[in-house]
Amino acid sequence: MAGNSIGKLFKVTTFGESHGLALGCIVDGVPPGLDLAESDLQHDLDRRKPGTSRYTTQRREADQVKILSGVFEGKTTGTSIGLLIENADQRSQDYSRIKDIFRPSHADYTYQQKYGVRDYRGGGRASARETAMRVAAGAIAKKYLFEKCGITIRGYLAQMGDIQCEFKDWQQVSQNPFFCADEEKLIQLDELLRELKKTGDSIGAKVTIVAENVPVGLGEPVFDRLDADLAHALMSINAVKGVEIGDGFAAVTRRGSQNRDEITSAGFLSNHAGGILGGISSGQKICANIALKATPSIEIVGKSIDIHGKDVDVSTHGRHDPCVGIRAVPIAEAMMAITLMDHYLRHRAQCNDVDAINYFK
Amino acid sequence: MAGNSIGKLFKVTTFGESHGLALGCIVDGVPPGLDLAESDLQHDLDRRKPGTSRYTTQRREADQVKILSGVFEGKTTGTSIGLLIENADQRSQDYSRIKDIFRPSHADYTYQQKYGVRDYRGGGRASARETAMRVAAGAIAKKYLFEKCGITIRGYLAQMGDIQCEFKDWQQVSQNPFFCADEEKLIQLDELLRELKKTGDSIGAKVTIVAENVPVGLGEPVFDRLDADLAHALMSINAVKGVEIGDGFAAVTRRGSQNRDEITSAGFLSNHAGGILGGISSGQKICANIALKATPSIEIVGKSIDIHGKDVDVSTHGRHDPCVGIRAVPIAEAMMAITLMDHYLRHRAQCNDVDAINYFK
Amino acid sequence: MAGNSIGKLFKVTTFGESHGLALGCIVDGVPPGLDLAESDLQHDLDRRKPGTSRYTTQRREADQVKILSGVFEGKTTGTSIGLLIENADQRSQDYSRIKDIFRPSHADYTYQQKYGVRDYRGGGRASARETAMRVAAGAIAKKYLFEKCGITIRGYLAQMGDIQCEFKDWQQVSQNPFFCADEEKLIQLDELLRELKKTGDSIGAKVTIVAENVPVGLGEPVFDRLDADLAHALMSINAVKGVEIGDGFAAVTRRGSQNRDEITSAGFLSNHAGGILGGISSGQKICANIALKATPSIEIVGKSIDIHGKDVDVSTHGRHDPCVGIRAVPIAEAMMAITLMDHYLRHRAQCNDVDAINYFK
Amino acid sequence: MAGNSIGKLFKVTTFGESHGLALGCIVDGVPPGLDLAESDLQHDLDRRKPGTSRYTTQRREADQVKILSGVFEGKTTGTSIGLLIENADQRSQDYSRIKDIFRPSHADYTYQQKYGVRDYRGGGRASARETAMRVAAGAIAKKYLFEKCGITIRGYLAQMGDIQCEFKDWQQVSQNPFFCADEEKLIQLDELLRELKKTGDSIGAKVTIVAENVPVGLGEPVFDRLDADLAHALMSINAVKGVEIGDGFAAVTRRGSQNRDEITSAGFLSNHAGGILGGISSGQKICANIALKATPSIEIVGKSIDIHGKDVDVSTHGRHDPCVGIRAVPIAEAMMAITLMDHYLRHRAQCNDVDAINYFK
C-alpha cells in the first residue's frame, strides 16, 4: 500500500531516489501563522549533508531546499507545504558495476524480490539520501514546538564501536564533526575512523536523543503510545536495529524497587522511564537511544550472489560513511520532532478542554 | 485523537478497562473463508491469562472470549469480527485505597494530567488486562498466516534479572510456567521469584520472539518498514522499554565486516539483521527482543504524591505479577502476528503481480 | 482492507449482522469529561428502532444499548467507548427460504461474489440494522457538539414519492411517525403507505438534514473538505443514491449572478451553498439532502437467479419498511454529527491558535 | 490535520497554490512494473488545461508534468512517485485589487477565518488549478486499471444551464471543446457561452462519468462503500454541489417494483443502481452524475465585505471559465479512477483468495 507517509495530524510524505532527479516531501497539517523560510530548514540539512568532513562520504550535495507551497509572505498558511531538493552530484557510473549484484546486508535483494524491479543506482529509494527530506520536515516541527512550548530536541553520538562518549555539554556537540558531547573522546574517534578507512571497514554506533520542556500529556494509549510511535519513527531510519526509551534494556536486570521513578512534592526523583509513563509524556526529559549497524558498503571483499543466483565477490568502492551513526544524529532529532509534533496536535484535538496541573513546588 | 487501533489492512481496535464490565475488540480486514471458532482464540488467551501459576497475579479470570460477528457457519465472512470478554473477578475494593494517589512509575499521573479524569480501578485502561484482546486478535492472524504460508510465531523468556535463558527447544517452552526454553534455568527462576515474593519486590525481563517461514517481501519502505512497524507494535506493550531487531544493540560495537550477512547460492550465511533488510523481510527468520521493566506495583514502600500534591508513601498489596515479562510472551507473539498479517495483506495489495524468485539451492 | 471505521479523530468502528448475537461499536477519540449515560444514546436509538409504528417493519427490537467502557463515574475518560446492543427478535427462519437466492437490488449477489461466502440471514452485515450503532455513536457527537458550541443537528422527511413535505417547524417533526415537518401532508403520507402495503410495494424518499450554530472554519481542503466528508458519510447509509449540499442539482441551471451568496456587513444574503465554501463551514446553516431508493424487498414478484445461476421468481414476505426513508432521518443526523465532530476536533488540532473574527453586525 | 491526501492503498497527496512556484503531487502505492512515462499523464492534463479554447479561461499554462521519482528505466518501481508542474503564467497583479476583499461564494472568507491568513493570489490553494495534479495522478490509475482489467473511465457534459446533452457516442466527446456527446447541442452551447461572455455571467453544469469493465467485488462495506468513496472523491472537486450514483434523486419518486434491477441468467435487466449494490461493484457499468455550480467570479457587480468588515462591491475581471463544468470532465474522470484504483488494491488485499463466478450466459 502506501508506506511513504508518517504522522497522522502532522503528516510527512516523501519521495525520491539516491540518483533520481530530486528528493521531495509534502508536510501536511502545519498550523497556520508560523514564520517559515528556507533558511529555517537549511541549518539541519547542512548538519546532515554529506561531504562536510573527512569522516563522511565525499559525495557533494548542496542539499539546498526549496519551499514550493504552503508559505505566503513568510508565514505558513495551513495548506500543504511542498519541499524539493534537486540531486546534483549523482555519478551513476559509480554504481553500474553492481547493477546485477545483491550487495550483502543491503536492500538490493529484498527490493528486487518484493517489487521485481529496482533502481540500483546508489540503493535507489533505500539509500539514506532519502532522509534529507525527513530532516527538512523535522525542522518545521522543531521550530513550531520551540516557539509554542520551548521544546528543544537535540542528539549526540553516545558510542562508536567500543568508544563510549558520555554526555558532557551541548555546546561541545556542535563543535566537532562527530556530534560528540565529550571532548576527551575526539582523538579516539578520529583514530578509529582513520583506521577504518585504511582497512576499508566500517563501524556501528549508538545515538542518544533528548527532548526537553515537553508538556505532560502527549501520547495516545493504547497503540499510539508516545513511546511506541517514537520506536516506529526511530526504527524507520536506515541502519537502525534497536530503540530504547529511557534506560531501555538496562531495566531487564533491575528490580521494581530500583527502577521505579519515585515522586515527591518537589518533583520526580529519577527518570528511568525516559519521560514517558503509560505511553504518555510525564513532563520529564524524553530520552531515547538508537543502535545503528555498520554500513555493509565496505572495501573488504564479501560473498554474495548476482541476479542470476551466481556466487560473486563484492567490494564497495563507492563513496560511503565509515560510520553512518554520525550523520544519523540530525535525522533522529527530526524523527523525534515529527513524532512529538504529531502528538502535540493530537493531544490538542482531544484534550484541549483539560488543563494540566502543576503539582510540584 | 483515536489511539486504540493498530494495523491498516488488518486493523485491530480495542476497548475496556481493568475493572470495567468487559473487554472488547473489533478485528477488521480478516479475509473471508477462514475456519474460525472461539476455541481457536482460547488457547493463546489461556497462555496469557492470570492465576494459572503461583508466579503470576492471583486474580482469577476465565478470559472466555465470545465471537459476536464476522463468522457464519464456522467461516469468516470478510466483515468485521467483534470479540468480547466479560470481566469476572473485579474486586474494586482492592483499589479504593489508592484512589487519590499517583502510584510511582504507573500511568496514574499521566492519565490524570492528560484527561483530567481517570478510572483508578486497577489502572483502568492502562492496565495490562487490556492486552487480552490483543492476544485474541493475534490468534486470528496467527491462524491465517499459518494456514496460508506455514508461518509460525513463537516466543520465549530470554532473561529474567541476571538469569539468562538460552534457547534450547520449543517443546520446553510450553512445559513450564515461565515460557523458558532452557530447562536448566527453571530452578533459578523459581528461586528468584520466591525471593521476590518474600521481599515484596519485582524484576525485569527480556523476551525473544521468532517468526519462521515468513516469505520475502513483507514491509513498506520508507516509514512503514516491517522493522519499524514491529518496533511500534512491540513497544506498545505495557512495561516494554526497548526493542531490538536481530542483534540490535550488539551492532553498535561491530564492524561492517563482522556484522554483514553474506549470501551464497546456498543461502544466507548469517542473520545478524534478524530477517529484515531495508525494512523488507528477507525470507530468513524474523527475530526481535523486547526489554520489560519490573512492575512498580510492589509492597516495598515508595515515595509519591496524592492528587492534592501531598507527599505520601505507597505500598501495593494488590494482586500483581512479580515479573510481568513472563505473561508478555503470548502478548508479544500476538503483536508480531498482527504486524506480519497487516504487511502480508499490504504486500498482496501492491505487489500481487510479482513472484519472488527462489535464488537458493 | 478495513472498511468498518469512519472518522479520523472521532473514529467510529462497528460490527454486527442483522441476525447475529449482537451489534457493537467502538467510539474512539471522545474528549474526556463529557457527562454520558446510556440514556443519552437511547433517545435517538428509539427514534430509529423498528416496530414503533404501523409504517415500519414489525420486527421487535428494544435496541437497548450498553456502555461497556470509556465512561467512569458518569464522565467520559478519553479512552475508547465500547457499545453493545444484543439482537433479540431474530426469527432466522424468515430467511431460510431465500438462503440460495440473490434478491434483486440487494447486496446478496455482490457480497457472495466479493467474499465467496455470506451471512444470508436478513442481509447479514448489509442490513440497515447495522445503522443502530451509527445512531448510538452519533448521539455522543451530538451531545458534545451541543454542549460545546450549541450545535443542533436535525432532519426531516422532505419528500416521499411525489409527496413533497416543506419544512414548517421542528416541533411538528417529533409529533408524527414520518419525521414530517409539514402537518398538512400527514394524511397523504398515511394513504400512500397504506396503499403500498396493500399492493406489496415500496417507495423512495428524500431526507433533509440541517446543522445550526456550526462555527466557521470546519473542513480540511482539499480532499477532506467538509462537504466531501459529508457526502461520504451520507452516501454510506443503506439505500442512499444521491447527496446534495445546499441547493445541489438546482445549481446546474443557475447563473453565477443568481447562485452566488452575497455578503454584507449584516451577514450573508442567501445560502445556496448550504453553509460550506471551499470545503469549509461558513458559519451559516449546513444543509444536505439525500435521496433514498425504495427497498427492493417487496411482495410483488420479481425476477432473479439463485446461487446456481438458475432463474427464479422472488417475492419478499419478511418484515420490511415500505419506505426506508422514514427511519433514515435519525441515521442521517447521526452521520452528519459524526462528520462535524471529527472536523471540530481536526480544526482544533491545526488551527487552535487562530480566533475567527465576527465580521457581522 | 492533514486533508491533502486521498486514497488508502493508492494514496494521492497534493500541494500547490494557483500562483505559487509549482504544483506537486506524490502518488504512493502504485504497483511495480507498470510502463509509465510523462506522455502517459500529459494527454489528460492537456484535456484539462486552460487556454485551449475561447470557452475557457485565457490563462496560458503548458501544464507540463515532470516525473521526479518512482519510475526507473520506463517502469514503476513500487516506490512513491513524485510529480511536478511549474506555474508559468501567474500574473499576480490581476489579483492585487481583491487582496483585501472576500469574493462572494469563494473560499476567501472561510480560509481567512479558518487559518487567519490566506494566499489571496487567484484563490491560492482553493483555486481549481490544484486539480491539475489530480488529473496527473488519475492518469496513472486509469492506465493501470485499463492494462490490468480493461477498465475504461470516461465522462461527458450532460447539461449546461437548461441545455440537456444526451449521450450519443464517445467519439463525439473528444471532437468538441465542451466534452459534449451530443453533436446537435454544440451550437446551443456555443450561443449560451457567447451570451454569458457578453453579460459577464457564468452558468452551472452537470457532468456524467461512466466506468466500464469494472469487476464485481470492489468496495468495502460498511463505511468505505464504493459509492460512499466515490461521493467523497467527486464532492471534493471545486464547485461540485451534488453527487448521484445511478439514477440518484430520480429514485425518490420511484417504487420498489420500478426501481429494482432484476436479474436473469442472461444478466441484469436494468441498472438503476449505477453498478453498485450494498456498496460493492456489481460488474455493471458504474455511473455517477455531479452538479457543478456556476463560478461566482463574474463581471456583474455583487455585494460583499472587505477584511475590515466594510461593505464593498465586487466585480471580477480576471481570467475565468464561464462554465467550470466543462473542464470538470477530466477531473471527475480522474477522481473516479483514483477511487476505483484504491478499491481494486483493497479488494486484492482482503479477497485475493476468492474467485468471482460468472453466473451469466
Query: What confidence tens digit (pLDDT) does each residue in B33-58 have?
Result: 999 999 999 999 999 887 777 777 77
B32–chain D Cβ distance below 8 A for any pair: yes
Looking at chain C, list the stretches that DSSP marks H as alpha helix, in order from N- to C-terminal side. 38-48, 93-96, 108-115, 131-149, 170-173, 186-199, 226-235, 256-259, 324-351
What burial class does residue C148 get, using C-beta atoms within 10 Å of its C-beta: 0-12 exposed, 13-18 middle, 19+ buried? middle
* pLDDT score for D160: 98
Ranges A135-139, A319-323, C175-179: which has the least confidence: A319-323
A182 min Cα distance to partner chain D (Å): 40
Subunits next to D (3 or more Cβ pairs <8 Å) are: A, B, C
pLDDT in the model for residue C254: 98
- Banded pLDDT at B2 (limits 50, 70, 90): confident
A57 touches chain B (CB under 8 A): no
Interface check for A293 against chain B (CB to CB < 8 A): the answer is yes
Does C123 lie at the interface with B, CB-CB under 8 angstroms?
Answer: no
Is A302 within 8 Å of B106 when comparing Cβ atoms? no
Q: Which of A28, A29, A82 sits opposite D24 (nearest CB)?
A: A82
Across A331-348, average pLDDT:
98
Using 50, 70 and 90 to split pLDDT, how confident is the model at C1?
low
Q: What residues in D contact C298, CB-CB < 8 Å?
A: 256-257, 260
Q: What is the 3-state secondary structure (H, E, C) of chain A?
A: CCCCEECCCCEEEEECCCCCCEEEEEEECCCCCCECCHHHHHHHHHHHCCCCCCCCCCCCCCCCCEECCCEECCEECCCCEEEEEECCCCCCHHHHCCCCECCCCCCHHHHHHHHCCCCCHHHHHHCHHHHHHHHHHHHHHHHHHHHHHCCEEEEEEEEECCEECCCCCHHHHCCCCCCECCHHHHHHHHHHHHHHHHHCCCECEEEEEEEECCCCCCCECCCECHHHHHHHHHHCCCCEEEEEECCHHHHHHCEHHHHCCCEECCEECCCCCCCEECCEECCCCEEEEEEECCCCCCCCCEEEEECCCCEEEECCCCCCCCCHHHHHHHHHHHHHHHHHHHHHHHHHHHHCCCCCCCCCC
Mutate to test the interface with C, among A26, A80, A353 (most CBs of C within 10 A): A353
Tell me the three cell numbers of residue B172: 520446553
Q: Please report residues of D whose CB lies closer than 8 A to that of C258.
A: 294
Local confidence band at D130 (pLDDT 50, 70, 90 cut-offs): very high
Nearest CB neighbour to D15, from listed A8, A20, A81:
A81
List the single residue in A2, A15, A78 with the smallest CB-CB distance to D114.
A78
Give the 3-state secondary structure of residue C340.
helix
* B127 annotated binding-site participant: yes
Confidence of residue D113 (pLDDT cuts 50, 70, 90): very high
Q: Band the pLDDT of D64: cuts 50, 70, 90.
A: very high
Residue B295: C-alpha distances to residues B110, B316, C322 (Å): 17, 11, 60
Whether pLDDT at D91 is above 80:
no
- What's the whole-number mean pLDDT along residues A334-351? 98
Report pLDDT for A138. 98
Q: Note whether C7 contacts B8, CB cutoff 8 Å.
A: no
Helix%, strand%, coil% for chain B, nearest 5: 35, 25, 45
Position C50 scores a pLDDT of: 77
Query: How far is the C-alpha of A45 from the C-alpha of A42, rounded, in Å?
Result: 5
Q: How far is C301 from chain A (nearest CA, A)?
A: 45
Q: Cα(C61)–Cα(B261) distance, rounded to whole angstroms?
A: 63
Measure the CA–CA gap between D246 and C239, rounded to whole angstroms. 12
Q: Do residue D1 and residue A345 have CB atoms under 8 angstroms apart?
A: yes
pLDDT at A107: 96
pLDDT tens-digit map of B95-139:
677 789 999 999 999 999 999 999 999 889 999 999 999 999 999
What is the C-alpha to C-alpha distance for residues B352 and B346, in angstroms, rounded to an integer?
10
pLDDT for C92 beyond 90? no
For residue A360, the tally of other CB atoms under 10 A from its CB is 13
Pick the range with the lowest mean pLDDT from C256-270, C274-288, C323-337, D38-52: D38-52
d(CA C298, CA B174): 58
Q: Cβ of C102 under 8 Å from any chain D Cβ? A: yes
Residue among D221, D346, D352 minimizing CB distance to B352: D352
For residue D90, the model assigns a pLDDT of: 63
B66 HSE (CA, 13 A, CB side) = 15
Check whether C320 has a pLDDT greater than 90.
no
Neighbours of C205 (CB within 10 A): 30
Residues in CB range of A96: below 8 A, 6 or more apart: none
Report, as an integer, the average pLDDT of A20-36: 98
Single out the residue of A44, A34, A38, A232 nearest to residue A146, CA to CA: A34
- What pLDDT sits at residue A233? 98
More confident residue, C321 or B353: B353
For A222-267, the pLDDT digits (tens) are: 999 999 999 999 999 999 999 999 999 999 999 999 999 999 999 9
Is B296 known as a binding-site position? yes
pLDDT higher than 80, residue A16 = yes
Residue D233 has pLDDT above 80, yes or no: yes
Percent of chain C having pLDDT more than 70?
A: 97
What letter represents residue D320's amino acid?
H
Rounded Cα distance, D87 and D81, in Å:
20
For residue C208, what pLDDT is reported? 98
**C17 and chain B in contact, CB less than 8 A:** yes
Query: What residues of chain D lie within 8 A of the CB of C198, using their CB?
Result: none
Q: What are the tens digits of pLDDT across the range A109-126?
A: 999 999 999 999 988 999
| pLDDT at residue D93 is higher than 70 | no
Q: What's the pLDDT at C98?
A: 79
**Over 80: is that where the pLDDT of D70 sits?**
yes
Contact A161, A203 (CB under 8 A): yes
Longest CA–CA span in chain D (Å) reads: 69
Average the pLDDT over each of B249-253, B344-348, C123-127, D77-81 and give the range with the smallest value: C123-127
Is B125 assigned to a binding site? yes
From chain A, the residues in CB contact with C30 under 8 A are 350
Residue C91's pLDDT is what?
Answer: 59
**Contacts B354 to D, Cβ<8 Å:** 32-33
- Residues D146-188: tens digit of each pLDDT: 999 999 999 999 999 999 999 999 999 999 999 999 999 999 9
Chains B & D: contacts with CB separation below 8 Å: 54
Q: Is the pLDDT of residue A21 over 80?
A: yes
Residue D92 is predicted with a pLDDT of 53
Tell me the Ramachandran region of residue D103: left when phi exceeds 0, alpha when psi lies from -120 to 50, beta otherwise: beta
Beta bridge partners of C67: C83
The shortest C-alpha distance from B155 to chain C (Å) reads: 28
**How would you write D155-216 as a 3-class SS string?**
EEEEEECCEECCCCCHHHHCCCCCCECCHHHHHHHHHHHHHHHHHCCCECEEEEEEEECCCC
Residue A31's contacts (CB-CB under 8 Å, 6 or more residues apart) are A76, A78, A144, A345, C350, C351, C352, C353
Residues of C in contact with B11 (CB under 8 A): 1-2, 5
Between residues A148 and A88, which one has the greater pLDDT? A148
Mean pLDDT value of segment A310-325:
88
Give the percent of chain A with pLDDT over 90: 89
Quote the CA–CA distance of C40 and B107 in Å, as a whole number: 30
Element (H, E) at D24: strand D22-28
Amino acid in the structure at residue B299: E
Q: What is the mean pLDDT of chain B?
A: 95
State the residue for C-alpha cell 504512493. Answer: D28
CB of C198 within 8 Å of a chain D CB? The answer is: no
Picking from A251, A177, A229, A194, the residue whose alpha carbon sits closest to that of residue A337 is A229
**Can you list the alpha helix ranges (DSSP code H) found in chain D?**
38-48, 93-96, 108-115, 131-149, 170-173, 186-199, 226-235, 256-259, 324-351
Confidence of residue B92 (pLDDT cuts 50, 70, 90): low
C-alpha cell at C24: 457493537
Q: What is the pLDDT of residue B94?
A: 60
pLDDT at D205 over 80: yes
Lowest mean pLDDT among A106-115, B206-215, D316-325: D316-325
Cell match 494509549: residue?
A221
Does pLDDT of C16 surpass 90?
A: yes
> Residue B90: its pLDDT value, please?
63
pTM (two decimals): 0.98
* Mean pLDDT of the residues in chain A: 95
- The answer, yes or no, to whether residue A92 has pLDDT greater than 60, is no
Best of C77, C81, C86 to disrupt the B interface (most B CBs within 10 Å) is C77
pLDDT higher than threshold 70 for residue A6 = yes
Residue D16 contacts C where some CB pair is shorter than 8 Å: no
pLDDT confidence of residue A98: 79
D235-288, pLDDT tens digit by residue?
Answer: 999 999 999 999 999 999 999 999 999 999 999 999 999 999 999 999 999 999
Residue of A nearest to C343 (CA): A349
